Structure 1
């Protein structure tokens, strides 16, 4: 293998790493796979799949826009908010955006442990920690691109003003280096004490190939119940 071929192979590995560990088949079962580094070592636990919220229910409430710059402080504020469905959605969206966005320097373990339920599977917690550290090391600047539309849908357990669980699916544009693609993130939250906590997480699962047009985001959505987030 010559020098140029080896360099191309490393670049391909990094792009796969940045654009999510699994390709979304559209059937709710993205192909989770551990992420290799250029030396061929496995460093990231399998990506938990972003299962679709097939039982999404309709509502006229609109969550807050994606943050201009995701922050752990804002996500914590959303966790401490009110008990209704909209507050749960805002927290879940903020958490999902924060996990995708690795540009913030933070103590990922402390932040994650402050925001997750003890019921979150240990392997998912490990993914949230290791994925962040690896993306920071790669310098991918991975984040959600706010120049493109984003959509959300959710289902609830219990009454809308005080649900016991809210299952949220976020579809947005995932960017790293100069590559962009539509991705889905699944964040299920429950109320523990006076806070929202993450009980299940999946993604970011990439839908299709590199993004070319803004309209491709909405065109990629499957199923009912999707609502656009404000710009």
Structure 2
């Protein structure tokens, strides 16, 4: 099935470039040119991925994402102006899966899109064999079979990216995972200089696990990477 992507961007020239390139690359794209129309389409549930510009008429991209995340965890790739680090970080904090700075190479956009869709596909596949479906450490329970995470008996809602990151860290509990390895294995790309994506995703996971003080079980080792503690 051809993945359906929603592009929400008011730049006609750039939008046509993106549509032409990704269509040739095997995707089906629809476009909304303003925030309100984009939010309405994004909430329809018919898309596998949303490409979301930050600067939009009617409703800016960050406000749109905030409203969307109240009802949908459809993957979102934010399109930001180069140098707007605050927008990128806020977008990730609100639940975006990744970001790409304008102007961008269409090949890089396609690679990011495919990496996100692969993460979603992995998150939807049942794990096997059965004995490896459940991970339980430090009051955190991750079930690969139904893609759910529980912490102290409460359901923790994670994006596909956050789920895959937590799965990888828990699967390697007790071992230090470098940012380079985590970026390659989960985000599907080489870690770039000044890229804050992992830091923000890990911060989001910590906050969501804080219901049982389990967020502190993910340790950041400056200059080394991340560590999920085996025992409290």
Which structure shows the higher helix fraction? 2
TM-score normalised by length of structure 1: 0.24
TM-score normalised by length of structure 2: 0.24
